[in-house]
Amino acid sequence: MAVAVQLKGQRRVGMTGDEAVAYAVKQADVDVIAAYPITPQTIIVERLADYVHDGELNASYVPVESEHSALSACVGASLAGARVFTATSSQGLALMWEIMWIASAMRTTIVMALANRALSAPINIHCSHDDAYAVRDAGWIQFFAENVQEAYDLALMAFRVSEDKRVLFPSIVNLDGFILSHGLEPLNVLEDDTVRSFLPPKVPVNPVDPEKPMTYGPLALFDYYFEFKKAQAEAFKSVYPVILEVFREYEKISGRKYEPIKTYGLEDADVAVLILGSSAGTARYAARRLRSKGEKVGVVSLTLYRPFPVQELLAKLKGLKAIVAMDRSYSFGSPGAQLFMDVAAAFANESEKPLMINAIYGLGGRDLLPEHVEEAFMRAKEAAKSGKVEEREVWLGVR
Amino acid sequence: MSKLLTWRDLSAPVIAEAGNSVQYKTGSWRALKPIIDQSKCIKCLLCWFYCPEPAIIRHEDDRVEIDYDYCKGCGICANECPVKAIKMVEEEVG
């Protein structure tokens, strides 16, 4: 039975993913936005520029000369105590890369929307997850939205998570370029007051203060760098429980339940696909079709990518005979693409593990069709049946 | 040398106490050591102007000395000295 969610005080609106993120950021009442336009993220910062210009958002909007400067400005603003937002895609994130690590190590609370786009060459403006994967090691929390509603919700939750004193790490909200960034969908938005009580003004830790000068990000060589990294690594381990807490609190105000991992059909599945982002819906559609024919297939999609929910994933995948990690990217010369490697590493010390296949799909915005997911399921089924994987790496739908 | 802290003592890389870089003695980086021949020195102060550290100590009477706690041995002073009063010599090993 479908339970009608209590939508007291929520409005049903139609927005693209970019617009929904910009709306969430406006409601989050950010203090500083520094960004440089790049497709398919541009509409986010255009809308925010409108909000600031029209007096709907009292924020400092810094139109910088590059993404490197954008993130640098964000680092300074965040350390000064501001609630900070930026958005980028692909090459733009690549230009931010140097500062990505600094933003995390200096414990800023920047929230970034990343409209996922393939990295050049060839030049492409459509969706791959190359950009998100390329900063997976930098110490940022990463969420993946499956639809426009999730992009909106996760943007709000990201501020709350990042600014929590037990966290103090920056966050990325991934939304698939064009598919979500430009796709118009209905969603429910919260009232401004509700958001304000969920996200009270940021209380900074060690803010930059001219009256009390401090050194931020000083030199630490072989005598201290190692200890700083260990401290950062340990601190990052405290992020996960806070995310669960924020998910639960957000459910209370929105009626929308969030979990690090979403599953479909796992209660009796023999095989499953694992996937990130907007394609999860396609995967579930394909699974539903197969399940109606009696096939025991399931779908696992990750809302939380960093920190990678290892224990929860192992618990959910327990008993599966074969799985297909679906990557919208490729890692040249690696033992597998990025999600495959994460999942394989999660299973490293398990005595019982499923056979694993790595499916590459959708690069540069190529549609993932239900038939492609069905092929992935069939390959997993064959592996489960024969007890071995014939082809570990498959490219779904490539000519 | 003060006792080294462990990772448990550290949080974000912030030094809350201002001006403590003076505690970081960079003289140990030196491979070549500048030696001033005071008998040749004309007190022109070019070494004092050019030293990037600054590790040239200027006295009241414009006599100069090297601050070996911070001198990294770059040799700029020796290069700039117009009367060749500064010689760069190998640091003693050990």
Report pLDDT for B17.
79
Please indicate, yes or no, if residue B5 is contained in any of the structural domains: no
Assess whether A387 and A289 both reside in one domain: yes
Q: Which domain holds residue A56?
A: 11-254
We report the CATH number of the domain holding residue B41 as 3.30.70.20
User: What's the pLDDT tens digit per position in A13-42?
Assistant: 999 999 999 999 999 999 999 999 999 999
Residue that the structure tokens 């739908």 belong to: A397
CATH number, domain with residue A279: 3.40.50.920
Note whether A215 and A360 are same-domain residues: no
Residues contacting residue A202 through CB under 8 Å, at least 6 positions apart: A31, A81, A82, A83, A109, A163
ipTM for the assembly: 0.80
| Per-window interface: A 186-215 vs B, CB < 8 A | 205-206, 213-215
Residues 6+ apart with CB under 8 A from A93: A67, A100, A114, A131, A134, A135
Q: Is B11 on the interface with A (CB under 8 A)?
A: yes
Burial of A186 (0-12, 13-18, 19+ CB in 10 A): exposed
Q: How many domains does chain B have?
A: 1
Q: Which of A88, A100, A111 is nearest to A24 (CA)?
A: A111
Looking up tokens 């929308």 gives: A256
- Asked if residue B60 is part of any domain, the answer here is yes
Could you give the percent of chain A with pLDDT greater than 70?
Answer: 98
With b for 16 or more beta-carbon neighbours within 10 A and e for fewer, the B55-84 pattern comes to bbeeeeeeebebeeebbbbbebbbeebeee
- Chain A residues closer than 8 Å to B26 by CB: none
> What pLDDT is recorded for position A234?
97
* pLDDT class of A206 with cuts at 50, 70, 90: confident
DSSP A202: P
> Rounded to whole angstroms, what are the CA distances from A193 to A28, A196, A251, A264, A372?
10, 5, 16, 34, 44
Q: What is the pLDDT of residue A2?
A: 43
Give per-residue pLDDT as tens, B3-52: 899 999 987 777 777 788 888 899 999 999 999 999 999 999 999 999 99
Residue B21 falls inside a structural domain = no
Do A235 and A265 sit in the same domain of this protein?
no
Candidates A217, A219, A231; nearest CB to B10: A231
pTM of the model: 0.91
Q: What is the domain range of residue B35?
A: 28-90
Question: Which residues 29-48 in chain B show a CB within 8 A of chain A?
Answer: none
How many domains does chain A fold into?
Answer: 2
Q: In angstroms, what separates the C-alpha of B20 from chain A's closest C-alpha?
A: 9
Residue in chain A nearest B6 by alpha carbon: A227
> What residues of A are in contact with residue B7 (Cβ under 8 Å)?
226-228, 230-231, 234
Nearest-CA residue of chain A relative to B3?
A223
Q: Could you please report the per-residue DSSP string of A1-52?
A: -PPPP--TT-EEEEEEHHHHHHHHHHHTT-SEEEE---TTTHHHHHHHHHHH
Chain B residues within 8 A of A166 when measuring between CB atoms: none
- Residue B64 within any structural domain of the chain: yes
